[in-house]
Structure 1
Amino acid sequence: MESAAERWYEIANTVNRNCTLADNLNQLYRSSSSEQRIHMPEQLGRGYWQLNQIHSSMELVICDASFHKATSLQSLERNNSLKLSFCLGEKLQWNVEELGKEYQLEHGEVSAFGHLPTSSSCQFNVNQHIRGVTLKLDRLTEIGALQQLPLHKISTILTENREPFHHSSMTPEMKRITQHIFHCNYQGAIKQLYLSGKVLELLAVYFNEAILQKQPQPSLPGLSRTDIDSLHRAKQIVDAQLVTPPSLEALSKLVCLNEFKLKKGFKLLFGLPVHAYIINRRLDDAYRLLEEGKLNITAAAAAVGFSKASHFSEQFKRKYGINPSEYFKFYPQKENRR
């Protein structure tokens, strides 16, 4: 049977061996209850850590805390599971003692780790705000569809890079899902069901957008290596000119492909026709602007290339299942955007 200490981490305060926070975190990470929350001791700061048992082989930890006093914590990471940490707060920095190296995770990044046992130390500064979502997956998972997850691809990346951590940028979809997890207002069994669904959605998006799409592309029927290179250039041009993209005719000339091969190949390679891809990217950019709170809905729609706010709202609802004005009112700090 797995020992309690191997469930997540062993935490210690490098200065104060009687640290209440370290003791509480160890208790949290050893918990087998469906949900447990601990609060930051008042003398150190404010905030909380919450653990939810999604499945016997999968757990979720949500953290939202800030420090009033400089605190140094050390963690011993076991290699019995894969963990994904999504950073939604300020940048985190830590040292891995056996490697003598410093690592950092920026706001809006996700880190995959757990294939190597590591001993890390992290200094939290006064007024530092840590906020994030971490998923833990046991390697020998028996969770239905999760048996098909390409967990080995992450291990391969980490092994090839000879690093204990693999960082990548969070996509707009990842940010959207993590915000849903953070702002879950359900309780009891409904909350458990909701979080289970969101965690599976987050995993699917992460593996698709951060792992699988980064792998070398297989050969595609009817497309030469030169054609594929041209299609990637077409995507780069579209990404750089989302507000006023070139027409299909102009784009085909820019990348030296006929329109038929451009349309067919683009959908085959990137999963969407060119026009649908542009709409989807515009929605992602508008979502980010609205999330940042810098623009209202009409201004955000115009900024990304929608000539009519009504068309933007229609496309937003088609993608997210809800009107933008209704969606963002779920977040108190964003009410003034409408």
Structure 2
Amino acid sequence: MQIRFSAKNVDELLTEWSQQTGSSLCIDPFEVILKMPPAMGNGWMRQIKLRPGLEMTLKHFEFSEPFVAEVTSNFSWEAVEFTSSVSGYVRNVVNGIPNEYKITPRQSRMSFFQNCGGYVECLPKQSVIHIEIQIKLPVLDNMIAGQVEQISPNLLAVLLGKSKDSFSQAQTMTGKIAQVTEQILNCPYQKGLTRRLYLESRAIELIALQLPINSPDTLPAPRLLKADEVDRIHHAKEILLTNLEHPPSLLELAKQVGLNDYKLKQGFRQVFGTTAFGCLYHHRMEQAKLLLEAGYSTVTEVAQAVGYTSPTSFSAAFKKKFGVSPKTYKC
């Protein structure tokens, strides 16, 4: 599927996206939510206005067929974007940047685009999970407050007004960036001022962690999985999630889907942005949260339902995920 946009800013782009794809569009004063129609795949995109000049975009989607989106006009951006990629491959061609670049799993990327169009390309049957922080130049300049020793030369030239050249440079996601990313994706607050301030604090932390970058984009591109390998990885996930109480070992799982254990581990990282048992842990915790919200199970019963024989181990795992104990959450 290929679509073209003539939008000149982000607000126009979201409106055009909704009109051309049939995506549902929900708008409130601080947040815009786009939900992908079933014909395209599944997933959503959220644009959150944290404060004037600072926004966050959360993307979690999967296309059912190859997808290309092209912006045909000069798109006015004039902001620095900090991307944290948990999973998924996205190919980008941007006018003003000499070479195409790829956003890959476990990658952090800092970009600046000035009045430029281009296109992005997504592969089918892969989960794309990205967090993007957009900050206007005056806001970022005020935040840095003259402490420019560790700032990228490209960014510094833009902040000083010496250059308006577009650039994009990447680094491998650090453990700390991965931790903050996980906190954003699992924000314990669902709405209101508390949620917005929580996300704003994490956005500023991500900017602080990604600013000290001084080398060009030299990350090697990981080898892409073949289509049948992606299908096998998805099948492996299904096997795990239907056997919460007695999941197979990594070797057993690899054998069941016809991959070796190295390819299975690599595949989970590339397709889902986590390990096989990281995926299992996340699903167990989400199921546990739903059971606790339903209010009809004890903590011990919930622990057993999601595959924990020890309520103590379950409570520790739940608190690590959501920041509160299951008993407190249930109340």
Q: What band does the TM-score fall into relative to the shorter chain?
A: 0.5 to 0.7
CA distance in 2, matches of 1:128, 1:204: 29
Task: Provide the residue aligned with 2:127 in structure 1.
Answer: 129
Deviations 1:94-133 (A, max 9, x none): 2235667321121111221124333221222321321110
CA distance in 1, matches of 2:147, 2:90: 28
TM-score normalised over the length of structure 1: 0.53
- Pick aligned residue for 1:191 from 177, 190, 195: 195
- Pick aligned residue for 2:173 from 151, 166, 170: 170
Give the direction of change, closer, same or farther, for the CA distance of 1:324–1:78 in structure 2 (3 Å limit).
farther
SS in 2 for 1:69: coil
- Please report how far the alpha carbon of residue 156 of structure 1 lies from its aligned counterpart in structure 2 after TM superposition: 4.3
Give the direction of change, closer, same or farther, for the CA distance of 1:95–1:190 in structure 2 (3 Å limit).
same
Give the direction of change, closer, same or farther, for the CA distance of 1:143–1:44 in structure 2 (3 Å limit).
same
Task: Provide the residue aligned with 1:271 in structure 2.
Answer: none
Tell me, which stretches of 5 or more residues in structure 2 are unaligned? 1-6, 217-268, 282-314, 324-331
Task: Provide the residue aligned with 2:20 in structure 1.
Answer: 19
- Please report how far the alpha carbon of residue 148 of structure 1 lies from its aligned counterpart in structure 2 after TM superposition: 5.1
Paired amino acid for 1:180: Q
> Is 1:55 paired with 2:51?
yes
Task: Provide the residue aligned with 1:88 in structure 2.
Answer: 86
SS in 2 for 1:5: coil
RMSD: 4.1
CA distance in 2, matches of 1:170, 1:19: 34
Paired amino acid for 1:19: Q
SS in 2 for 1:88: strand
Give the direction of change, closer, same or farther, for the CA distance of 1:105–1:127 in structure 2 (3 Å limit).
same
Task: Provide the residue aligned with 1:37 in structure 2.
Answer: 33
CA distance in 2, matches of 1:198, 1:43: 34
Contact 2:112 2:166 in 1 (8 A): no
SS in 1 for 2:87: coil
CA distance in 1, matches of 2:38, 2:106: 28
- Please report how far the alpha carbon of residue 48 of structure 1 lies from its aligned counterpart in structure 2 after TM superposition: 0.6
Paired amino acid for 1:141: V
Task: Provide the residue aligned with 1:249 in structure 2.
Answer: none
- Pick aligned residue for 1:203 from 199, 202, 207: 207
- Please report how far the alpha carbon of residue 62 of structure 1 lies from its aligned counterpart in structure 2 after TM superposition: 0.4
Give the direction of change, closer, same or farther, for the CA distance of 1:190–1:20 in structure 2 (3 Å limit).
same
Contact 1:9 1:77 in 2 (8 A): no
SS in 2 for 1:107: coil
- Please report how far the alpha carbon of residue 46 of structure 1 lies from its aligned counterpart in structure 2 after TM superposition: 0.8
Give the direction of change, closer, same or farther, for the CA distance of 1:43–1:294 in structure 2 (3 Å limit).
closer
Contact 2:55 2:134 in 1 (8 A): yes
Paired amino acid for 1:192: R
CA distance in 2, matches of 1:170, 1:157: 24
1 or 2, which has the higher helix percentage? 1
- Please report how far the alpha carbon of residue 71 of structure 1 lies from its aligned counterpart in structure 2 after TM superposition: 2.2
Give the direction of change, closer, same or farther, for the CA distance of 1:79–1:176 in structure 2 (3 Å limit).
same
In the TM superposition, 1:108-257 aligns within 5 A as: 108-141=106-139, 145-147=143-145, 150=148, 153-156=153-156, 164-186=167-189, 187-207=191-211, 210-211=212-213
Aligned identity (percent) is: 14
CA distance in 2, matches of 1:127, 1:99: 28
Task: Provide the residue aligned with 2:275 in structure 1.
Answer: 292
CA distance in 1, matches of 2:156, 2:63: 36
- Please report how far the alpha carbon of residue 141 of structure 1 lies from its aligned counterpart in structure 2 after TM superposition: 1.6
CA distance in 2, matches of 1:85, 1:10: 19
- Please report how far the alpha carbon of residue 80 of structure 1 lies from its aligned counterpart in structure 2 after TM superposition: 1.2
Aligned residues: 218
* Range moving further from structure 2, 71-80 or 128-137: 71-80
Give the direction of change, closer, same or farther, for the CA distance of 1:64–1:183 in structure 2 (3 Å limit).
same
Deviations 1:165-220 (A, max 9, x none): 1111111000100110011130211101111111112122222xx427x79xxxxx
